[in-house]
Chain A
């Protein structure tokens, strides 16, 4: 792969201060029914060079949070209160106070968002080359040859044949190729932070693997700082250093990937993990989470998860818990996290592997 000769920041960024800090970020949408409180008080530091996965179901606020960082929310949304601070090379920027032209600058050259590769992520009447040139020009880069050279490099990096792709219209490309073109375009202006919203959703399995391999390379070889937004736990397991579980607009648990998958302390995280099967793991008994996600206009009192929670107690119905430390670099927002820990002592989450060459595995039945 041509990554070694790509010229982007090669300094060890793990020494740097957090490129992105969110403090008490709230986002609400005005609707006829009332205020939809999509994000409610998210505070998190994104470390330099790390990849953080935001996981949760539809309506958990994960996509809204991603859009808030690059300020691409619809006009009905407001981000109040909240502070988003971005740092690069000693500069410190208050993202929510940027003027529109500064924001445009920030959006592609500091922090780039990669959307799910639907056709509507592109301008349908522009060839890939024209999309790239438009982007470059909008950021004051008008040296056509240099842009082309950079685009060819990036297309090679994402394992596409530049000759075939550069003069193609979006509809002429397969879903996997479009996702890779989007990734290449997002890297065009050398951003420091990448936000990827459902980067593999709706792609075929083998294509998903190609994208995962590319993203791993960006992470491990180039030390990009990345945020993955996905409903798919597998994306977190495959790519994330740290995982944040979101529920009803809040981060309810934050920890290393291993802590979240094997030692979760929030009942919602535990519920998600126990609801998802693996292919290579031993046969697992799966459980669904009863009920459905809350109405974001009329949120229940106390912990927003309590109506669906097997660990809920009286206190959960009254008071909403804040994130507390439950281990080193591991926080969870649950009054009863100790009970979750006890439950995992009885029924650990390590599934082990199916013995690959022994088909005489335990036969259990579902239900």
Chain B
């Protein structure tokens, strides 16, 4: 199948001169319709910047975002509008992404009317109520005339999803969409998103720092791991979680605190050579993980950036030294 979204050598730099940082460095991946892809990594790895470029909120310094086979920079205005509607983004913070002076009715009906999705106010209201039901804000009539501050964090995030759905998107970038929601409610939002996947054929790029959530949400999909602006490993979730090959993926998975005492006490300890992450202003040469990597090979890792190479078990790994080696994450 042709990918719905593809990025090729996507690069984003901020600032200039000595202050310039490369937040995203030559990132390439393709996402097919119906797939669920999680972009994971620690703060500063470039996952959100990548998501914003995919959604068209941020222009790439170089490289391409390809939507349904065409570079978004070369789309005519009608096609560009279609792209902007088809690809939507849900932000992390439902406290700042909704206009506090508007009711939920205004928040949802404005895009419906603006994009001629419905004709007239009553049709817009009917559709708004329908969308609120879709995101499990029931009964929708009790919610529609409220202001964002009258809703809980979880409810606000549902409103943000309903607003994204007004323009019939086929691709949603969910950037830390449940990170600010209480744990007891997170799962219900993920389940709701998973339902959209099925009922509305929405393809998800789910951006998170939480590997356990990524595993749960993309169990049938793929995970892409970023470190300091580059993809270091990707692959089918079940392979990546159980058989990670890149030393950074291994370090990350072994470091995740586990909400289960038995697992917590049987995790392999991976000792890094340096506990601190390098600054984006002074990135190490070669593989950017080399100053911390326990498998560092002098003269190799600190010279050239290792390319992402395909793994027979699925996915890609940017570590020629370790890509053939398996380790167990539990001991």
B283 at the interface (CB under 8 A from A): no
B218 — nearest CB in chain A belongs to which residue?
A: A366
A261 — nearest CB in chain B belongs to which residue?
A: B261
CB-based contact B261/A354 at 8 Å:
no
A212 at the interface (CB under 8 A from B): yes
B102 at the interface (CB under 8 A from A): no
User: Which of A65-73, A274-282, A329-337, A340-348 contacts the other chain?
Assistant: A274-282
Main secondary structure of the interface of B (DSSP, over half): helix
Bound Cα distance A205, B276 (Å): 12
B307 at the interface (CB under 8 A from A): no
Which listed residue (B155, B257, B260) contacts A351, Cβ 8 A? B260
CB-based contact A276/B212 at 8 Å:
yes
Number of A-B residue pairs, CB cutoff 8 Å, is 172
CB-based contact B260/A288 at 8 Å:
no
B53 at the interface (CB under 8 A from A): no
B239 — nearest CB in chain A belongs to which residue?
A: A359
Bound Cα distance A64, B313 (Å): 50
CB-based contact B329/A280 at 8 Å:
yes
CB-based contact B330/A235 at 8 Å:
no
B267 — nearest CB in chain A belongs to which residue?
A: A280
CB-based contact A235/B257 at 8 Å:
yes
B258 at the interface (CB under 8 A from A): yes
CB-based contact A273/B255 at 8 Å:
no
Instruction: Give the total of B residues in contact with A, Cβ under 8 Å.
Output: 59
CB-based contact A57/B182 at 8 Å:
yes
User: Which of A93-101, A113-121, A226-234, A311-319 contacts the other chain?
Assistant: A226-234
Which listed residue (B190, B219, B260) contacts A261, Cβ 8 A? B260
Main secondary structure of the interface of A (DSSP, over half): loop
A159 at the interface (CB under 8 A from B): yes
A307 at the interface (CB under 8 A from B): no
CB-based contact A280/B258 at 8 Å:
yes
- For B258, the chain A residues whose CB sits under 8 A away are 234, 237-238, 278-281
Contact of A366 with B217 at beta-carbon distance under 8 Å, contacts A204-B42, A289-B184, A357-B328 already known: yes
CB-based contact B276/A361 at 8 Å:
no
B134 at the interface (CB under 8 A from A): no
A-B contact pairs, 5 of them (CB 8 A): A208-B255, A235-B257, A238-B261, A288-B191, A359-B313
Which residues of chain B have a CB within 8 Å of any CB of chain A? 42-43, 152, 154-155, 182-191, 194-195, 198, 209, 211-213, 215-217, 219-220, 236, 238-239, 241-243, 251-264, 266-267, 269, 272, 275-277, 313, 326, 328-330
Known: A284-B216, A351-B263. 11 other contacts (CB 8 A): A204-B209, A232-B257, A236-B259, A238-B261, A238-B264, A257-B261, A277-B216, A278-B258, A287-B187, A290-B188, A358-B242
